[in-house]
A and B are shown apart, each in its own frame.
Chain A
Amino acid sequence: MPQVANIAVSILFDGLAYAMFLFITSVGLSVTMGLMGFVNLAHGAFAMAGGYVVVTLTRSFGVEFIPSLVVASVVVGAVSVVFERWLYRRLYKSTDLEQVLLTIGLAFMAIATATYFYGPIPKSVPLPGWLQGDVNLGFRYFPSYRAFLIVLGTALIAVLWYVFERTNIGAKIRAAVDNRRMAESVGINVDRLFTLTFAIGSGLAALGGGLAIQLFGLSPSFAVLYLVLFLIVVAVGGLGSLKGTLLAALVLGVFDTAGKYLLADAGGFFVYAVTVAVLLIKPAGFYGRE
């Protein structure tokens, strides 16, 4: 294969895998922000919590990696409901500043708690044999784990798209994002809808956290380290938009990988350049409402 094509394939493949991680982790944040306008900076903490559940299950209880991922998303999704009912709902009508203070406080408490129980040293996770090494796709080899990320991400996107566009509950969510007061006046219980989407979003974040262990390693600082990236994905994609979040994750994932591959000296600069460019042209993001 010619060198240029080979490079392009490398970048697209790694960028796509990275984009899937970004999408899975950020989509919940986008929908909850779009639905309630609630600024949840503790989103990264839910992702981190998911990661630690996976580490505990695989390392201490000998559970396989894939079932651990499922358990982690369910457990974290369920626990997030407690937080939502008990803390978040008190601040729905409050200003952005109060919401930010509450949630960033939660994030820092989560970091301290994780450090207390797991220590500051990054954790790794044992993978099943079929996710290690590389896989031959006919014309060249690809890392198996990243191929798995792409497949899983694509499947999730399909499911989410179906729920969002084709089911009753999806129609209600879209209606509430578009116009909350109107949705409420036709009898949609936006409060309950929010609890549901919050739980699903946090569960997906936990899944993302579990998937990220193999990419970056998992340490307590995960809760805020990658938060900026998630917020960028949400802002570039537009609040509450599934399509937007996906597009933003793809663009940022591929650009970041391409930047590191082609111009390592400029490092992580590309993500920010793309963000600034997009927001200059479309201040509400790709699919945000102006």
Chain B
Amino acid sequence: MRTLGWLGLAALAFTVGGGAQAETIKIGVVLPFSGANADLGHQIDKAFDLYVKLHAKDIEPNKAEIIKRDEGPPTGAQAKTVATELVTNDKVQILTGFVFSPSAIALAPVVTQAKVPMIIANAGTAWITNLSPYIARLSFSMWHPAFPMGAYAYDKIGCKTAAMAYTDFPPGKDSTEAFKTGFEKAGGKVTEAVPMGSPVQVPDFTPFFQRIKDAKPDCMYVFIPSGAHAAGVMKAYGELGMRKGGVKLIGPMDLIPDNKLQDMGDAAIGTVVMGHYSVDLENPENKEFNKAWHDIYGKDSYPDFMSAAGWDTMHAIFDTIKKLNGKVSDGEKVIDAMKGWTSEGPRGTVMIDSATRDIVQDEHAMEVVRKPDGKLGVKILGTTKGVKDECKELKVGRCGS
């Protein structure tokens, strides 16, 4: 009798609860956890975990269940397989993560067909957001840092000529194209573009850089996938004595990820990058974010621009869950709810542009300096507020379609 009574009470609770019934939202996270680029996956994963840990209560009584899968190498094949499994077998309602553009590109038709929102936390090839109405991007387009860097390099850094060196995959071509467009508009001349092999492994950068050093342009614009590649770039640049040889190193913030910066040594000092995040950015949210990060991951672990985007990504997902009261099974509604989302995050003010579903954020020109405490850090040289993806604004190539 007693058991029956309890059951009855439970049944009553369910009926009364009705509309506010707690949902468990399954979120599929696809990030590289293996291979040369595993580092990048961990930087975002740590930010995701941190956000979920600190903000799980925000979506109560609903719960988020995170299912993680390995994105694999930057070719897209494995990412497509695991993400498809997440959608069909695990029935996730939201997909997020995606460090590599090839992964996002390969998966776009799948999410369109499955009507599952894909909330990109990194992959930066500009035209990715055009591939499916179910894609929203919280990170950046390659054009965000690269295009303004063009004019900045010519006007402020004093580059009249520049060589470009890039890792040979879609974001590399995108980043150099964006830089070239901005640089030539301002009056500069790009002397050459040097592809430096696939992103799967870190190459020996020396022969590529030696060639550029011998050609003596004013500046060398380098795009590489962040992390291990960035350390390699700095090593070769320092070894070849290129700064002494009069070739300045410039690029997007991928060149100086915060978690690698301390290992880069004096070779990095003087490098100027355009980017939307650094641990040194002065805003209250960033201070709080860094404190929470160090509390959990230790004082020698640093978040970087990928972590900052990861934090905002989970923030946007949680806000959307809250806004829809946990009813996120309709992918179209999820994306609609995200349009126009705005928040103060570690990067400052960020917003999802309703028209393009891409991020709008501030871009800072930053120079690597030795700080008074002996550590390497950046000095903010200048800031442009509310930068949109210029590739889509100017309708360049595939961004126009």
A residues lining the B interface (CB < 8 Å): 3, 6-7, 10-11, 14, 18, 115, 119-122, 124, 132-134, 141, 143-146, 214-217, 219, 221, 225, 257, 260-262, 264-265, 267-268
Q: Which residue of B lies closest to A145 (CB)?
A: B239
Q: Give Cα A217–Cα B33 distance, bound, in whole angstroms.
A: 18
- A120-B36, A264-B194 are known contacts; what are 10 more A-B pairs with Cβ within 8 Å? A7-B214, A10-B214, A119-B38, A121-B39, A133-B238, A134-B240, A214-B235, A216-B203, A221-B36, A264-B208
**B residues within 8 A CB of A264?**
194-196, 208, 211
The answer to whether A122 and B228 touch (CB under 8 A), given A133-B239, A145-B239, is: yes
B36: contacting residue among A18, A122, A133, A145, CB under 8 A:
A122
CB of B232 closer than 8 Å to a CB of A: yes
Contact of A261 with B231 in the complex, beta carbons under 8 Å: no
Q: Give Cα A83–Cα B353 distance, bound, in whole angstroms.
A: 61
- In angstroms, how far is the closest chain B Cβ from the Cβ of A223? 13
CB of B201 closer than 8 Å to a CB of A: yes
Contact of B211 with A261 in the complex, beta carbons under 8 Å: yes
Contact of B197 with A18 in the complex, beta carbons under 8 Å: no
Contact of A124 with B207 in the complex, beta carbons under 8 Å: no
Contact of A216 with B204 in the complex, beta carbons under 8 Å: yes
Contact of B168 with A267 in the complex, beta carbons under 8 Å: yes
Q: Which residue of A lies closest to B202 (CB)?
A: A217
Contact of A221 with B35 in the complex, beta carbons under 8 Å: yes
Give the total of B residues in contact with A, Cβ under 8 Å.
34
**A residues within 8 A CB of B241?**
133-134, 141, 143
B35: contacting residue among A120, A214, A260, A267, CB under 8 A:
A120
Contact of B36 with A219 in the complex, beta carbons under 8 Å: yes
A121: contacting residue among B38, B208, B214, CB under 8 A:
B38
Contact of A143 with B214 in the complex, beta carbons under 8 Å: no
**B residues within 8 A CB of A10?**
207, 210-211, 214
Contact of B207 with A261 in the complex, beta carbons under 8 Å: yes
B239: contacting residue among A7, A144, A216, A217, CB under 8 A:
A144
CB of B263 closer than 8 Å to a CB of A: yes
- In angstroms, how far is the closest chain B Cβ from the Cβ of A124? 6
Max chain A Cβ within 10 angstroms of own Cβ: one of B39, B204, B238, B239:
B204
Contact of B228 with A260 in the complex, beta carbons under 8 Å: no
Q: Which residue of A lies closest to B210 (CB)?
A: A10
**3 nearest A-B pairs in the assembled complex, by CB-CB distance:** A143-B239, A260-B207, A120-B38
Contact of A217 with B238 in the complex, beta carbons under 8 Å: no
The answer to whether A261 and B208 touch (CB under 8 A), given A7-B214, A10-B214, is: yes
**A residues within 8 A CB of B196?**
264
B197: contacting residue among A120, A146, A217, A267, CB under 8 A:
A267
Contact of A267 with B195 in the complex, beta carbons under 8 Å: yes
Q: Give Cα A10–Cα B241 distance, bound, in whole angstroms.
A: 13
- In angstroms, how far is the closest chain B Cβ from the Cβ of A144? 7
Chain A proximity mask over B29-45: 1 for CB below 8 Å, otherwise 0: 00001111011001000
How many residue pairs at the A-B interface have CB separations less than 8 Å? 88
CB of B130 closer than 8 Å to a CB of A: no
B residues lining the A interface (CB < 8 Å): 33-36, 38-39, 42, 168, 194-197, 201-204, 206-208, 210-211, 214, 227-228, 231-232, 235, 238-241, 244-245, 263
The answer to whether A265 and B204 touch (CB under 8 A), given A132-B238, A141-B241, is: no
Majority SS of interface residues in chain A?
A: helix
Contact of A268 with B197 in the complex, beta carbons under 8 Å: yes
Contact of A146 with B206 in the complex, beta carbons under 8 Å: yes
The answer to whether A121 and B195 touch (CB under 8 A), given A146-B206, A261-B207, is: no
**A residues within 8 A CB of B36?**
120, 122, 217, 219, 221
Max chain A Cβ within 10 angstroms of own Cβ: one of B194, B210, B228:
B210
**B residues within 8 A CB of A214?**
235
**A residues within 8 A CB of B42?**
121
The answer to whether A14 and B206 touch (CB under 8 A), given A134-B241, A217-B231, A221-B36, is: yes
Q: Which residue of A lies closest to B197 (CB)?
A: A267
Q: Give Cα A121–Cα B245 distance, bound, in whole angstroms.
A: 32
A261: contacting residue among B195, B210, B239, CB under 8 A:
B210
- In angstroms, how far is the closest chain A Cβ from the Cβ of B214? 6
Q: Give Cα A129–Cα B150 distance, bound, in whole angstroms.
A: 36
- In angstroms, how far is the closest chain A Cβ from the Cβ of B91? 29
- In angstroms, how far is the closest chain B Cβ from the Cβ of A190? 38
- In angstroms, how far is the closest chain B Cβ from the Cβ of A6? 6
- In angstroms, how far is the closest chain A Cβ from the Cβ of B74? 14
**B residues within 8 A CB of A132?**
238-239
Q: Give Cα A219–Cα B196 distance, bound, in whole angstroms.
A: 20
Q: Give Cα A143–Cα B231 distance, bound, in whole angstroms.
A: 17
**B residues within 8 A CB of A122?**
36, 202, 228, 231
Contact of A143 with B240 in the complex, beta carbons under 8 Å: yes
A14: contacting residue among B33, B35, B194, B210, CB under 8 A:
B210
**A residues within 8 A CB of B202?**
122, 216-217
**A residues within 8 A CB of B33?**
120
**B residues within 8 A CB of A225?**
201
Can you list 10 residue pairs at the A/B interface with Cβ under 8 Å? A10-B210, A10-B211, A120-B33, A120-B34, A122-B202, A134-B239, A214-B235, A215-B204, A225-B201, A268-B197
B214: contacting residue among A6, A145, A260, CB under 8 A:
A6
- In angstroms, how far is the closest chain A Cβ from the Cβ of B42? 8
Q: Give Cα A262–Cα B210 distance, bound, in whole angstroms.
A: 11
**A residues within 8 A CB of B203?**
216
- In angstroms, how far is the closest chain A Cβ from the Cβ of B78? 14
Q: Which residue of B lies closest to A258 (CB)?
A: B207
Q: Give Cα A268–Cα B214 distance, bound, in whole angstroms.
A: 21
Q: Which residue of B lies closest to A219 (CB)?
A: B36
**A residues within 8 A CB of B211?**
7, 10, 261-262, 264
**B residues within 8 A CB of A115?**
34
**A residues within 8 A CB of B245?**
141
**A residues within 8 A CB of B238?**
132-133
Q: Give Cα A224–Cα B55 distance, bound, in whole angstroms.
A: 43
Q: Which residue of B lies closest to A134 (CB)?
A: B241
Max chain A Cβ within 10 angstroms of own Cβ: one of B34, B36, B39, B203:
B36
Contact of B214 with A217 in the complex, beta carbons under 8 Å: no
**B residues within 8 A CB of A262?**
211
**B residues within 8 A CB of A119?**
38
